[in-house]
Amino acid sequence: MGPENPKLYDVNIASGDDSITDKIGFRTIETKGQDILLNGKSIFLRGVCIHEEAAYRGGRAHSLEDARQLLGWAKEMGCNFVRLSHYTHNEYMIREAERMGILLWAEIPLYWTIQFENPAVLTNAKNQFTEMFNKDKNRAAVIIWALANETPVGDARLSFLRNYGEYIRGLDQARLISAAMDTHGGGDEPNTIVMNDPLGEILDVLGCNEYYGWYSGLPDKSTLLTWKTIYDKPLIVSEFGGGAVYGKHGDKLERWTEEYQEYFFEENLKMLEKIPFLRGTTPWILMDFRSARRPLTGIQDYYNRKGVISDQGQKKKAFYTIQNYYRHK
């Protein structure tokens, strides 16, 4: 199986009077130094994050038509990869991605400051992963299991995630393990980001979320940054983005306009191009989605507006910025 020309094979399994038919893909995925190798060849993962949110009608995306809509937009943008945020997505998403040749990052809702000292939480995480693994273990599209999202550095967290990572490897040695980590400054080196989270020791692929130009400074701040790593491993920038209301226009420095979001991605992509160990990006996020934490009246109205497509399927200017970037990757 490869992203450009996926091939699925009909597999029939019979035992007595019982039989089952499935379509199965075959591929290898591995890392070598700072490269990700698909079927032995280096690949750049041109991705996007997706929530299980239905376009147009709102509510949960749960049908084959929903999967085709969301993944079709990702494919149109030039994606060969999708991060399924931040929980197990329904089977249509995984099977349709496989049919379309889109590779997948899968994760359970393990993020922020959970009770890392509580054994019951670790048991819960293992149970959730086991259910996801049993559902998707035969899906060649899934190439990365993610441990966690934006968890703070600390001994209890590291012990928890090391234990959880060992559990995943005990079930599956054929896929890669990553995590969406936070970025860290370079100490005495100004304008430097260093991938030095100790969690990186147990990962195959480094992942990080960054919002330079949205939560921190203006978009041109990102072009001043230099990225370094203490690991000889590939990096996926697993989140980066800024909000915009579809149809709201203005100066490129006016927040919430399509022009600001476009400017954000233009500057961020310039920065990312200078990271020698970068092997993939998943901008946040494909489509606007409901969020009770986003109440800003007239702008958010309880939606996260970082989508490059509105919840009504309208493509913002940033969609085409990313599309153009991916056409040259």
**Res 188: pLDDT:** 81
Per-residue pLDDT averaged across 181-205, rounded? 93
Per-residue pLDDT averaged across 49-77, rounded? 97
With a cut of 90, say whether residue 6 has pLDDT above it.
Answer: no
Segment 282-323, tens digit of pLDDT: 999 999 999 999 999 999 999 999 999 999 999 999 999 999
**Res 3: pLDDT:** 61
Q: At 231, is the secondary structure helix, strand, or coil?
A: coil
Check: CB of residue 212 under 8 Å from CB of residue 239: no
pLDDT band at 186 (very low <50, low <70, confident <90, very high): confident
Q: At 223, is the secondary structure helix, strand, or coil?
A: helix
pLDDT band at 148 (very low <50, low <70, confident <90, very high): very high
pLDDT band at 30 (very low <50, low <70, confident <90, very high): very high
Taking Cα atoms as reference points, which of 61, 128, 135 lies closest to residue 98? Answer: 135
**Res 48: pLDDT:** 98
Segment 85-136, tens digit of pLDDT: 999 999 999 999 999 999 999 999 999 999 999 999 999 999 999 999 999 9
With a cut of 90, say whether residue 170 has pLDDT above it.
Answer: yes
pLDDT band at 202 (very low <50, low <70, confident <90, very high): very high
Three-class SS of 266-284? HHHHHHHCCCCCEEEECCC
Q: What is the DSSP string of 104-162?
A: EEEE-S-BSS--TT-HHHHHHHHHHHHHHHHHHTT-TTEEEEEEEESPPP-HHHHHHHH
Nearest-5° angle of CA 284, CA 285, CA 291?
A: 105
Check: CB of residue 319 under 8 Å from CB of residue 79: no
Segment 233-280, tens digit of pLDDT: 999 999 999 999 999 999 999 999 999 999 999 999 999 999 999 999
Segment 52-65, tens digit of pLDDT: 999 999 999 999 99
Segment 207-226, tens digit of pLDDT: 999 999 999 999 999 999 99
- Sequence-distant (6+) residues with CB within 8 A of 22 are 10, 11, 13, 138
**Res 2: pLDDT:** 57
Higher pLDDT, 88 or 187: 88
- Sequence-distant (6+) residues with CB within 8 A of 119 are none
- Spatial distance between the Cα atoms of 65 and 317, rounded to a whole number of angstroms: 25
Q: Where are the alpha helices (DSSP H) in the chain?
A: 64-76, 91-100, 119-136, 155-171, 258-272, 317-327
With a cut of 80, say whether residue 4 has pLDDT above it.
Answer: no
**Res 189: pLDDT:** 87
Check: CB of residue 151 under 8 Å from CB of residue 207: no
**Res 187: pLDDT:** 77
Mean pLDDT estimate for the chain: 96
- Spatial distance between the Cα atoms of 104 and 307, rounded to a whole number of angstroms: 19
- Spatial distance between the Cα atoms of 163 and 160, rounded to a whole number of angstroms: 5
Check: CB of residue 209 under 8 Å from CB of residue 10: no
**What is the amino acid identity at position 262?**
E
